Every structure is written in C-alpha cells, then in structure tokens.
Structure 1
Amino acid sequence: MKEKVYKILPDFLQNCMVYLYNRQAYKRRYGGEYKHFRKEKKENRTLSLEELKEYQKNRYSEFIEFVIQNSEYYKKSIGNIENVALIENISSLPIVNKEVLRNNIETITVKTSEKLEKSKTGGTTGKSLEVKFFFRDSQERFAFLDDFRSRFGYELGKKTAWFSGKSLLTDRDIKKKRFWKTDFINNVRYYSTFHIKDNYLKYYVENLISYAPEYFVGFPSTILEIAKYGIANGYNFPENTVKAVFPTAETITEETRYYIEKFFKAKLYNQYASSEGAPFIIECEKGNLHLELQTGVFEVLDENDKPAKSGRLIVTSFTTAATPLIRYDIGDSITLEEPDKICSCGNNNPLVKEILGRIDDFIYSVENGKINLGNVSNTLKDTKGIIRFQAVQNKLEELDLYVVIDKEIYSKQIEKVFIGNWKDRVGNAMKIHLHYVNEIPVEGSGKYRIVKNNIKDLL
C-alpha cells in the first residue's frame, strides 16, 4: 500500500516520505544503547594489541555462552564440547557455510520474546537469506561504523551522496532525467543504482557537481562508472568538495580506487562487513586495513582448514546474538600482512594486506586454475575505449565476455590487447567469446557484477 501511494505522489512529497522512513530507521538505529557504544568505540581506538586480545577473549566467551543457552542448533552442535567458551579452542567448533545457515535458520536463530530486526543478504548468488538482529546489536554495529566514518569528519547531517539498492524512482523521474531522491532534513541524496547507462550518466555527473556532497557512501561499482564517464567526457569535479568516499558491499580493485579518487579528488576509505553481520575490517588514514578484534574473531584458512596467511575468511561475530555467526564461512578470502608490521595511525589491530573478495568471483581455467577478481579487472591494462565489461563462465573451457565500448576510441588493436590480456590469465586452451553490447544490467540488488561464475558447483 505504501509503495502504491509513494508512486503516485509528486516528487516533493516522495522526498518527504523518504525522510519519514529515515526518521523511523534513525530512531531505532540511534536509540537504545547507541550512545554508550559510540563512547566505547572511541575509547577503544588506542587499545594495545594485548588489550584488544583480552577484550576479544572476554566478548567471545560471553557470546558463546549466550548462544548455547538460547540457540537450539548450537546447544546441540557445540554444547557438549569441552571448554567451548575459550577462544583458544575455537578450532574445535564446526565451520558453518551459507547453505548450512540457510537450511537451519529456524533452529540457529535464538528463541526470545524480544522484537528482532530483520536483514536480508544480497541475492547475487541466486539465493537471498534473512537473518535477525537484536536492536542493541544493530546499534552497536552502527556505532562502530559511524565511529569509523567520524575519523574522516562524517556525522549524520553532513551532505552525503548515497548509492544503494533502494528502488525509489518512478517512470516520471526517468522521463525528467531525475535519478535521485533527497532527504533534505538529513542532507542525504539517494542516487539510483539501477539506471547506470551511458545516456543517463551525464545527469548523474552534473547533479553531483551541483549538489556538491561532502561524502559518498555506497556501491563502488556505481560510483566508478560515474567517475569514468566524468573523466572520459571532460567534466572537472570541483576540488575540496568531497572529503571521503566510503564504499559498501563490494570488493575494491585498484581500478576502482584509481578512477574514483582521480575524478572526485578525494580519498576512498574501505571497510568490510556484511549484511549477515560479519565483524569489521576498516581502512585507516594511512591506507592500511585493520582486523577489528573488538568486533569478532577472524580466521584465515587454507583448503584443508588449516591456518594460512592467505585463504578463505571464517568469521565469528559478537554482534550477531539473534542469528549467531560462529565460524561462518562467509565466502570471501583475504591475505594477512606480516604479523610484525605495525601501523603508525595508532590503531593496534592486526593488518590485512588485501581483501581478495568473494571466492565465487573468479574465472576458472583448466590450465591456470582460479583467476580472482583483481586479476580479472587487470585485463583492462593498456586498453582504451572499454567502458565496462562482464565475464560470464557457463562452461569449463569457454568464457563469454560482454563488453560496452566507446566506438570512437576502441579499435581492433585494442581488442587484440584485451583478448591477449585474457589469454595471459586463462591460457590458450579456453575459448573466448566476445559480445559487444549496449549495456550490462545490474543485479536485482542494484550491484554490478564484473564476474558471474555459473560452474563453481562443478569444481
């Protein structure tokens, strides 16, 4: 009913409805224990590594004990493990993947009379998942995220351009080339991530220049396309306008960082979490990524489930008491920095060398094995005129590349370089089918996927 009413309202009243929705959301988000958590997060910024580990150890014990008492699934699966609440025994607990979580969601979620908040994970793999949170856990997560962003001057009320999976536009908006809605009270303009097309990008760029946001938040793939369009078409984004870019939900590649920072003349500060409630990894002002031990436990394991410097990420998150994440295989992989490396920013949490992104985001070559997202994005090296592309693998020895080009710049020679870059990565045995298209649609969540691997279950 609300959606039907929204669609028939004029633009001004739609903006008012966006504000009213936000007001309710902010009331939940910033109520309860939020202020207490903000104070705690600020105080914890300069804890020593030993103090952080002690904090993590205590939170882990409290979390495991609560879960065993209140989750039917975990009471049965880990309740009888000796000294189960000691963090040094974490490897004795079973690893849970997304399918296990999905298939057992009713018994994993704790039994409580409290009202719980619902959160749906993205469905880019074809299946979404609904998890639940206690409001205090959501408040703690937002407190940590706001504390991170506040280090670069951000607070609610600062003028912000937001790019997320909200579907807010009507046919009238499209006809008027208006690809945004604005919460004028909180100074947030929400830009659609579903209309990133060449003939629309002009309006995004020009409106962003006019709106002059101090901060960008949201899907980096959308911000990247806007930045690349702006550069290619000679737009000059005003200097000293944007103070920071905070990407969400997607892996950051070197290309993404380069173009966004170049066009918007601002630093991008990465942060890693998930809609399921994964603990946080954040980037500091020195450009280093930190495992935030006060938010959970991070394990990096190889294919044999043994600790590794680079491998798949297994997380236990302290802010997921309602739908607990305990040794959860989140589907991403990271590489740790050398343990003796210390950052000069004052954050003493361990360092991450690289977030490699989703394990599913790879192309598999019979000759060379897995080609990860970073190497896929680097196939653009020494090319010009490729606006965007998507790699889709439906067969083991074949690869489909969907490419949007600038016909005035692109040439047969560039095509040869692009294919050569792919051959360097996948080998010569794989058949590469090149498809030139006018656009590549985003997923239903509003995200743009550079890789779609449809044979991962066969590997």
Structure 2
Amino acid sequence: MGSLQEKIYEKSPHFIQNLIVSAYNVLAYKKRYSGKYADFMKYYKANRNLSLEELKKIQAKKYSEFIEYAISNSNYYKKTLGDLSKAKDISNIQSLPIINKETLRSNYSSIYTIRKDEGIVSKTGGTTGKSLEVLYTHKDVQERFALLDNFRSSFGYELGKNTAWFSGKNLLSNRDIKKNRFWKTDYIYKVRYYSTFHIHGKYLKYYLENLIAYKPLYMVGFPSTMYEIAKYGLAHGIDFPANTVKAIFPTAETITQDIREVLEGFFKTNLYNQYASSEGAPFILECENKKLHLELQSGVFEVLDEKNQQAKAGRLVVTSFNTHGTPLIRYDIGDQIELGEGTCDCGNNNPLVKEVLGRISDYIYSEETGKINLGNVSNCLKGVKGIIKFQIIQDAINEILVLVEKDEKVYTSEYEKVFLKNLRDRMGQTIGIEIQHVEEIPVEKSGKFRLIKNNVKEKI
C-alpha cells in the first residue's frame, strides 16, 4: 500500500480495514493467479511422479534456456557470461562466477532485465543486513505460486478454505491493541491475518482464544509466532480442539525439531516444511513422509564447502529458473543445507535433503567448542520451565548476551541454573554468558523472530 492508502487505512474503522485487506488481496491475487498460472498448475501436477532421469533432463533444458535469456536481456550477465564457452551447458555450471547479496545490491540496474513498472517488486526483510529489492516478471510470480500451491494442494489446501496466516504484514491500529484484537480478516478468501509484531505474554491468550473460535483448516506463516502461541497453550493447560487444523505450512524461518514437536503436538496436526526465499530461491519441499526434496524443475542447487567444491553439507548456491526479472545464477543465498541419501517411496523422485540448516549466521561461536548451530541453541530449554522466549546476541568472540522473557509465576533460580548449564554444555566453560531479563524481545522489521544474532561472524 502507498503512503496515502496507509493513512486512509489507519484512520478507518475495523470493518472497513477488513474490506481494504480483501480489496488489496483481490488485486494481488489477480496478478498471481491470472496469465500462465493455470497452465503452470496443470504442468506441475502432471509432473509429480517423474523419474529422477526425467527431472534432470527438464532441469538441464530449463537451465540452458534461462542462461540464454539472462545473457540476452541482462547487461550484467552479458558481460560476465557472454564470453564463457558452453555457459548454457549445465555440466559446466562450476565455471560460472558465484554472486552474493552485495553483488546483487551493487549491480541492480545492470542485472535487471525489465523496468520496475513492468514487473513485481519483492523486498527481502534484511534480517542479516540491508534489504534487497528484487524484480519478478508476472510470469515468474505465477509460476512460483503454482509451485507452492501444487505442494500445499497435495495436503488438501485451497485458497478459500479458512486459513490463519502469520506473516510480516503490520495491519493493526492502536484501537486494535486496546481492544486486544490482533488480527484482520479477508472475508472473500477466508484468510485471517494474525500480527507477528505483538507476540507478548500478555496478549497470547487473545490470539489463542480467537484461533479456537476461528477454526482454521490451515495455518501458514512464521513458525516462531505459532510456536509462542502453542507454548502458551501448553503452559496453561489449554486443549486445542482436535481435527481442526489439517496442516501447518511454515515459511521464512528454520524449523528445529523442538518447533516441529511443539506445533504438531499442540495443534494436533502435521507440519509440512518448505524452503524458498523472497529473492527467489528454488524450492525445497517436504512430502507426506516428512522428507525434504529438492525441486529440480525450479532450479539448480549446489552445496559447496569453503573451497567452493561440491559437498554433502555446506552453503547453498542456487540458480533459480523463475527469476527472469532479476536472474539469480550461482547465487550464494547465505543458507546452508545437508543433502540426504537414498530415495523416498512417496512418489516424488527429486533428490532428498537431510536438513535445512538455516542461515550461515545463525550460530554462536565459542573458541572452546566451535560453532553451535540453531538447532542446538534451541534445545537449551530442555528441563527448563518459565522461559517464554529467549534470544542470544554475540557482539564479541568471548562473550554472549542472553535476553530472557520469563513467566514470573513459573521461572525460578533453579530453572535458570539448568538453563545456564545447558548453555555451558554447548558453548563451554570459558565464554562469558550474561543473562538479562527483559519485558519483551522485539521481532525484526519483517515480523520474523531471530533466536540468534551473530555480529562477529566476520572475525571468525
């Protein structure tokens, strides 16, 4: 929404705001679900059970066409790839240069293949630095939503079925907060948007009461928000009605085993994970067997070590076929994954991923024990009660600051000792650990919550 529209929205009463949200979605969905969307949906549904050999043939063909498009339409890629021998052959991909976020940010004007008014602008949240501004063609957006909807539809999801959505949209007014109303509803498409900016202990009761009353069939969005609501429900003995939610589809954040267990346990349903990114990474999708698969039809995935050699686990470098507006070719996305082994009997023959390890910066560094990743950090709550939320900030190699939101009625000094021991078990005895109790730990501007803020990775 533009600034004038935002002012009109802010001053409008609640029911008018709901209408504005619905009208905004009508326009957005028209772009997403028109044009080639139906053709893409038909294509991906028909291709659900292709053999690995067939998938690799499609990938190689799409790669060749995509590189040719980039060289022909982007001044940047014309210069960097135009003179490379056999650049369009996927077997020569490692001869192409790797680019990163800073390369992208510094060369916008020459990388873009279209003008801003010809495409759709996507801005990343910028949780690890400055925001990125990526341009998509309308066809790119239609294909990306077809890929995502094809994945979700295999678990029964359709637009128009009651959905609770937790995203980075900040839609609330001061009146809403005074009335303990933390949501807006699109009654046309039956989507209720819950704020991810007001996840505070004093408000969680209202979120949960409304979720129970709304009876969503599907829950979509930031898992950290759903996780806080679920933990509140568990801590207060609230029984979420069985057979309500059919599936949870998390977005934008790394799923740890603890998050999965809490969400599936409290909401009595299954969580199906997916990986992509707002700047256009190709898709990694979870099947009915809870196994992650690379979607080879959406791009090329390279897992590389520190010497840029292929590895089983390492940083993820992607070439994404539906980023024609801002072509991503060998783009170091800043995440890391570990590839799996064997095959899956779900019918999806795409290669397996053992784990999406998350952002490369999502770790704490200890000179005694090395890198402690997100999953190990999240497990520090084992045996601890009364911590609503915590966040670790590392501004120096030899010390960390741990912010803790606590439940005064439950949290005790004994639980703090267990929590500190869990931290020490992972980080060693020499690193300085300061625990600071705070009333609230804010989310990022994007609405995401960051468990770890590592500000020393360049010193390691």
User: Residue 59 of structure 2 aligns to a residue in which SS?
Assistant: helix
Match of 1:304 in 2: 307
Match of 2:279 among 265, 270, 276: 276
Alignment-mate amino acid for residue 64 of structure 1: I
1:175 aligns with 2:182: no
1:40 aligns with 2:49: no
- TM-score w.r.t. length of structure 1: 0.98
- Determine the C-alpha separation between the residues in 1 that align with 2:423 and 2:453: 16
- Determine the C-alpha separation between the residues in 2 that align with 1:387 and 1:6: 33
Match of 2:104 in 1: 101
Match of 1:430 in 2: 431
Once the two structures are TM-superposed, the CA of residue 113 in structure 1 deviates from its matched residue by: 9.5
Match of 2:235 in 1: 232
User: Residue 45 of structure 1 aligns to a residue in which SS?
Assistant: coil
- TM-score w.r.t. length of structure 2: 0.98
Alignment-mate amino acid for residue 362 of structure 2: D
Match of 1:352 in 2: 353
Alignment-mate amino acid for residue 313 of structure 1: L
- Determine the C-alpha separation between the residues in 2 that align with 1:10 and 1:418: 45
Once the two structures are TM-superposed, the CA of residue 398 in structure 1 deviates from its matched residue by: 0.6
Alignment-mate amino acid for residue 433 of structure 1: E
Match of 1:389 in 2: 390
Does the 8 Å CA contact 2:164/2:194 hold for their aligned counterparts? yes
Does the 8 Å CA contact 2:116/2:135 hold for their aligned counterparts? no
Once the two structures are TM-superposed, the CA of residue 126 in structure 1 deviates from its matched residue by: 3.1
1:78 aligns with 2:81: yes
Describe the shift of the 1:418–1:113 C-alpha distance in structure 2 as closer, same or farther (beyond 3 A).
closer
1:205 aligns with 2:208: yes
Alignment of 1:213-224 (within 5 A): 213-224=216-227
Match of 2:162 among 152, 159, 164: 159
Give per-residue Cα distances to partners, 1:381-418, cap 9 Å, x unaligned: 22222111000001110100001122332222221121
1:443 aligns with 2:444: yes
Match of 2:14 in 1: 11
List structure 1 segments (4+ residues) > 4 angstroms apart after TM superposition. Answer: 111-114
- Determine the C-alpha separation between the residues in 2 that align with 1:369 and 1:42: 44
Match of 1:91 among 86, 89, 94: 94
Give per-residue Cα distances to partners, 1:44-94, cap 9 Å, x unaligned: 100000000000000000000000011111111111111000000000001
Does the 8 Å CA contact 2:201/2:388 hold for their aligned counterparts? no
Once the two structures are TM-superposed, the CA of residue 284 in structure 1 deviates from its matched residue by: 0.5
1:334 aligns with 2:349: no
1:378 aligns with 2:399: no
368-377 vs 14-23, greater mean Cα deviation: 368-377
Match of 2:268 in 1: 265
Give per-residue Cα distances to partners, 1:133-160, cap 9 Å, x unaligned: 0000100000000000000100100100
Once the two structures are TM-superposed, the CA of residue 425 in structure 1 deviates from its matched residue by: 1.5
User: Residue 203 of structure 2 aligns to a residue in which SS?
Assistant: helix
What are the ranges of 5 or more consecutive residues in structure 2 without an aligned counterpart?
none
Once the two structures are TM-superposed, the CA of residue 9 in structure 1 deviates from its matched residue by: 1.1
1:242 aligns with 2:245: yes
Percent identity, aligned pairs only, is: 62
Number of residue pairs the alignment of both structures matches: 457
Alignment-mate amino acid for residue 195 of structure 2: S
- Determine the C-alpha separation between the residues in 2 that align with 1:114 and 1:159: 33
- Determine the C-alpha separation between the residues in 1 that align with 2:273 and 2:35: 28
- Determine the C-alpha separation between the residues in 2 that align with 1:424 and 1:107: 49
290-299 vs 120-129, greater mean Cα deviation: 120-129
User: Residue 335 of structure 1 aligns to a residue in which SS?
Assistant: strand
- Determine the C-alpha separation between the residues in 1 that align with 2:97 and 2:343: 32
- Determine the C-alpha separation between the residues in 1 that align with 2:230 and 2:411: 19
Once the two structures are TM-superposed, the CA of residue 13 in structure 1 deviates from its matched residue by: 0.8
- Determine the C-alpha separation between the residues in 2 that align with 1:130 and 1:263: 37
397-406 vs 105-114, greater mean Cα deviation: 105-114
Once the two structures are TM-superposed, the CA of residue 127 in structure 1 deviates from its matched residue by: 0.7
Match of 1:62 in 2: 65
Once the two structures are TM-superposed, the CA of residue 220 in structure 1 deviates from its matched residue by: 0.4
Once the two structures are TM-superposed, the CA of residue 328 in structure 1 deviates from its matched residue by: 0.5
- Determine the C-alpha separation between the residues in 2 that align with 1:113 and 1:229: 43
What are the ranges of 5 or more consecutive residues in structure 1 without an aligned counterpart?
none
Alignment-mate amino acid for residue 337 of structure 1: G
Describe the shift of the 1:112–1:173 C-alpha distance in structure 2 as closer, same or farther (beyond 3 A).
closer
RMSD: 1.0
